[in-house]
Homo-oligomer: A and B are copies of this chain.
Amino acid sequence: MTEHTAETKVKEAQTAALELATLSDDERRQGLNSIADAIDAHHEEILEANEKDVTAGEEMLAEGEYSQALVDRLELSPSKLESIAEMVRSVAEQEDPLEKTLAARRLDTDLELYKVAVPIGVVGTVFESRPDALVQIAALCLRSGNAVILKGGSEASHSNRVLYEIIREATETLPDGWAQLIEAREDVDALLEMDDAIDLLMPRGSSEFVRYIQNNTSIPVLGHTEGICHVYVDEAADLTMASNVAYDAKVQYPAVCNAVETLLVHRDVAEEFLPEITARYADAGVELRGDDAVREIVEMDTATEDDWSTEYGDLILSIRVVDSLGDAISHITNYGSKHTESIVTDDDERASQFMRSLDSASVFHNASTRFSDGYRFGLGAEVGISTGKIHARGPVGLEGLTTYKYHLEGDGHVVASYTGEDAKPYLHEELDAEW
C-alpha cells in the first residue's frame, strides 16, 4: 500500500471537488441523510473508540496536562450521538446555497450573462477536540458541494477515525475522496503551503491558534480570533434598557466571543447608572475592574491598560467612563477586535454615528451583543464567525462556503462586432432569469 501523504490526499480532494460541484441538491442531501443514518447505526463502534480517547484524556487530566473541560468536551454518549445525527439532518434541510443565479444581465440579443453560486472547491479545516466538530464540518462542506480536509485534535483521534470511516462508507456513491482525514500535526504545516490546491482554510480554536494559521499561509482564512465586544451606554440612554442590555451581554453566557468585555458609560449618566448595574453584576458574581472615574462612584479593582484589550471569556468585566460619544468610538477603535459593539441610546442620530464610525463586523443599537450569532441572525447553519473583512464577515452561514462563476450564453458572438467604427452598443439589461 502506498503511503497517503497530506499532498496525495489534497490532490484526491481536488479531483473530487470538480465532481462534487456537478452534483444536484438531491444528491448532496441524500449523502447527508446517509451519514446521519450511519451514525445512528454505529453507536457501539463510535462509543467504543470514544472510550479510548476519554480514558487517555483522563490520564492526561490526572497528570495535569488536560483540563476537566477538555475531557468533558471529548466525551460522547448515545444521546449526544442522536443529536449529532439530528444536526446532520438539519444541515440537509437547509436551503441549497448552490445553483442560485446571483445576477443575470443581457449584454446583447442572445448574449446573456449569469453570475452563479458555486462551491469554493477544497476547504481545509483544523479544529478543536470535540469529535462532533468533525461531523458538523464535513456536513457543512458537503451541503455546499465542497471537498474537505479534516484535521481534528489528537485528543479525539480514535473517535475522529471511526467517525470519518463511517462518513466515508456512508457516502460511497459520492465522488471518491471528497472528505480526507489527516492526523499528524506536521501535516497542518504542509496544508498551509498548498495554496494552489486548497481554496479556503477554516481553523477553529484559540485566538493564538487562528492567528498562527493566518500568519503562516497565503491561503484565504475564514476564522475568528478574539471577540473584545463593547456596550456603550450613551448620555441619551434609557438606563433601565441599558442595564438589561449590559447585563445580558455579560451574564447570559460569558464564555463566548460575543459576550461584552468592556462597558463604556457616558460621564453624564455614570453616577446614576453605575451603582445599579454594578450591584446586578455583583449579584451574578461578575468581577469588576474600573478606571478611576468609575471607582470614584463604585468601589472595585483598578482596570489596567491590559484590561481594555483582554477577552476574559468569563464573569469579569472592565468598565470605563467616557466624556463623549467620540471618546467611546476612539476607545473601541483602539482596543476592540472589530467583532460586535452595541450602543444604548434613545437618540437615533447618535446611534447612527456610532454604527457608521466603527469598523466592526456587527454594530448594534439597543440590543445585546449576544445576538451576534448565525442562528440568531437567521443565517441557518453557522459555518463560523469571521473576524476577517474579505469574503465573509461576522456570523457566516453556508453562503460563506460558496463563491461564484460567470456563465455566458451566446450565439456565436465575437468582440470584434463591438469595437471599431461600426461598433454595436451593449444592451446591459438586468434580467430576472435563472440559468
Asked whether A365 and B409 contact (CB < 8 A) given A217-B218, A390-B199, A426-B376, the answer is yes
Q: Which of B218, B252, B356 is close to A415, meaning CB atoms less than 8 Å apart?
A: B252
Min C-beta distance of A405 to chain B, whole Å: 6
Q: Does A203 contact B (CB under 8 A)?
A: no
The 8 Å CB contact of A364, one of B245, B362, B410, B428, is B410
Q: List 22 A-B contacts (CB under 8 A).
A: A111-B367, A120-B389, A121-B389, A195-B214, A195-B215, A199-B389, A200-B389, A220-B220, A245-B413, A252-B415, A359-B405, A362-B405, A363-B406, A363-B407, A364-B409, A365-B408, A365-B410, A368-B415, A370-B414, A376-B426, A378-B428, A390-B391
- Docked Cα-Cα span, A340 to B1, in Å, equals 39
Please, how many angstroms separate the alpha-carbon atoms of A403 and B356 in the complex? 14
Binary contact track A372-405/B, C-beta < 8 Å → 1, others 0: 1000111000000000111101110000000111
At the interface, yes or no: A70 with Cβ under 8 Å from chain B? no
B residues in contact with A238, CB < 8 Å: 412
Chain A, range 91-117, C-beta contacts under 8 Å to B:
105, 107, 111, 113
The answer to whether A403 touches B389 (Cβ under 8 A) is: yes
Size class of the A contact interface (CB-based, 8 Å): 35 or more
Question: Any chain B CB within 8 A of the CB of A173?
Answer: no
* Contact call A356/B244, Cβ cutoff below 8 A: no
* A216 adjacent to chain B (CB < 8 Å): yes
Measured between alpha carbons, how far is A420 from B105 in the docked complex, in Å?
Answer: 48
In the complex, what residues of B have CB within 8 A of residue A216's CB?
A: 218
Q: A406 to B364, alpha carbons, bound, how many Å? A: 8
**What are the 9 tightest A-B residue pairs by CB atom distance, in nearest-first order?**
A367-B410, A248-B414, A241-B412, A378-B428, A370-B415, A391-B391, A220-B390, A364-B408, A362-B406
C-alpha spacing A412/B247, complex, angstroms = 11
Smallest CB separation, A167 vs chain B (Å): 24
Residues of chain B contacted by A405 (CB below 8 angstroms): 359-363, 393-394
Q: Are A393 and B403 in contact (CB under 8 A)?
A: yes
